[in-house]
Amino acid sequence: MTSFLKELANEMSVTAAAEVPGAAPAPAKMAVEHLNLFYGDFQGLRDVNLTFPENQVTALIGPSGCGKSTLLKTLNRMNDLVEGCRVEGSVLLDGADAYRTLDATDLRRRVGMVFQQPNPFPMSIYDNVAFGPRSHGVRAKADLDVIVEESLRAAAIWDELKDRLKKNALGLSGGQQQRLCIARALAVQPEVLLLDESTSALDPISTAKIEELIGQLKERYTVIMVTHNMLQALRISDKTAFFLLGEVVEAGDTDTIFSAPIDPRTADYVAGRFG
């Protein structure tokens, strides 16, 4: 493990040196500024400042209860459902304030979310994927057919499911359900995709498929994922932010965070000393 990391770090220090002069900053798709979040009296997030670059995968890591999932739910305002939840500071999508200028439903369409537990609706596979577009006014069968097929293809599950689109989605395996949920999220053509520990309930093979899928999705989407699995963050993310007790301890390139963390707490966590 350590030797692998060292190797990685070595390799990267070389390439980094080579690339620095030409590199332009990636444009930020989403950003949070001075974000404080309270559940009643409890402060869940403390002065969080982060930017999420476009077409990159950002991983949020940290021990349980550190606020990473809370932050994720703040990005598409799912926290609105939690009673007594109060948000201060700003969440920006393309520079527009998600809490003040954007409408919550509009925001959620543009910032899709895949949950920890696969949650397909109790209806057919086709209807699951078509649900979003239908709700947004797409009525024509031909249009829906195209959207369903393309979404399922993009979620790498079309070939498995194309012959049983009319079957109930609850009959699928956990991994298939989760990829169906990704397809369902893609069907409303979001700009950002939030993944909330979306592989933690799955077996290793399904996890691998989804990780691979995420690597492909970032070509079109900005992906922000919460994960408990540090190797997963290392494998598929471009940026990583490490959370502890509601604060961002350290954030930056994934490789730096894992190979040369600045803060000793990050180093401890990444080395597996707590968590």
Partner 1 sequence: MSDGFNLRLRRPRPSVVACSPTLGALGAVNLMPACFAKEDALEAHIARSSRRRRAVSVLLRWLTYAAATVTAAVLLFVVGYILVRGVPALTPDLFQWEYTSENVSLLPALASTVIMALLALAMAVPVGVGAAIYLVEYARRGSRFVRLVRVTAETLQGIPSIIYGLFGMLFFVTACGWGLSLLSGACTLAIMVLPVIMRTTEEALMAVPDSYREGGFGLGAGRLRTVARCVLPSAVPGILGGVILALGRCVGEVAALLFTAGTVAQIPDFGGQGIFALFDSCRTLAVHMYTLACEGLHVNEAYATSVVLLILVLLLNAAMRVAAQKMEVSKK
Partner 2 sequence: MLFSLLNVPPASASTAAGSGGAGAPGAGAGLAAAGVPAAARVPKRRPHVLREGAARALFGTAAALSIAAVALICLFLLANGVPAMAEIGLPEFLFGTTWRPAHDLYGIFPMIVGSLYVTAGAMIVGVPGGLLTALYLSRFARGRTGSFLRSGVELLAGIPSVVYGFFGLVIIVPFVRLFGPGTGLSVLAASLILGIMILPTVITVAQSALDAVPARYYEGALALGVDHEHAVFKVVAPAAASGIMAAIVLGLGRAIGETMAVVMVAGNMPIIPDSLLSGVRTMTANIVLEMGYAADLHREALIATGVVLFVFILLITMLLNVIRKRGEAR
- Strands 42-53, 28-39: pairing kind: antiparallel
Contact segment (CB under 8 A) with partner 2 among 12-20, 26-34, 59-67, 132-140 equals: 132-140
- For the stretch 9-17, contacts whose Cβ atoms lie closer than 8 Å and that sit 24 or more positions apart, written own/partner, are 9/255, 9/259, 9/260, 12/255, 12/259
List of residues 6+ apart from 10 with CB closer than 8 A = none
The least CB distance from residue 84 to partner 1, in Å, is 21
205 part of the interface to partner 1, by CB under 8 A: yes
Long-range contacts of 150-155 (CB under 8 A, 24+ apart): 151/183, 151/184, 151/186, 151/187, 152/180, 152/183, 154/183, 154/186, 154/217, 154/220, 155/179, 155/180, 155/182, 155/183, 155/186, 155/213
Q: Is 83 in the site for partner 1 (CB under 8 A)?
A: no
When binding is defined by CB under 8 A, the residue of 41, 137, 163, 272 that contacts partner 1 is 137
What residue type is 43 in one-letter code?
A: Q
Which DSSP symbol is given to 261?
Answer: -
Minimum Å gap between C-beta 29 and partner 2 is: 17
Amino acid letter for position 7: E
- Could you say whether residue 94 binds partner 1 (CB under 8 A)? no
Question: Which of 68, 108, 209, 218 is in the footprint of partner 2 by CB under 8 A?
Answer: 108
To 10 degrees, what angle do helices 125-135 and 174-186 make? 20
Of 102, 64, 58, 51, the C-alpha closest to 80 is 102
The binder of partner 1 chosen from 9, 85, 156, 267 (CB under 8 A): 156
Tokens of 61: 């890591």
Selected from 20, 23, 24, 81, the binder of partner 2 by CB under 8 A is: 81
By C-beta, is 106 or 263 nearer to partner 2? Answer: 106
Closest to partner 1 by CB, 101 or 216:
216
If the CB atoms of residues 38 and 168 are measured against partner 1, the closer one turns out to be 38
> Binding pattern to partner 1, positions 9-48, x when CB under 8 A?
--xx--xx--xx--x-xx-x--x---------------xx
Whole-number Å distance between alpha carbons of 116 and 97? 26
The entry of partner 1, partner 2, none that residue 210 binds, CB within 5 to 8 Å by partner kind: none
Least distance (Å) between residue 53 CB and partner 2 = 22
Nearest distance in Å: CB 181, partner 2 = 7
Phi, psi of 95, deg, nearest 5: 85, -5
Residues that bind partner 1 (CB under 8 A): 8, 11-12, 15-16, 19-20, 23, 25-26, 28, 31, 47-53, 58, 109, 133, 135-138, 143, 146-147, 150, 153-154, 156, 159, 188-189, 205, 208-209, 211-217, 219-220, 235-236, 238-239, 241, 247-255, 262-263
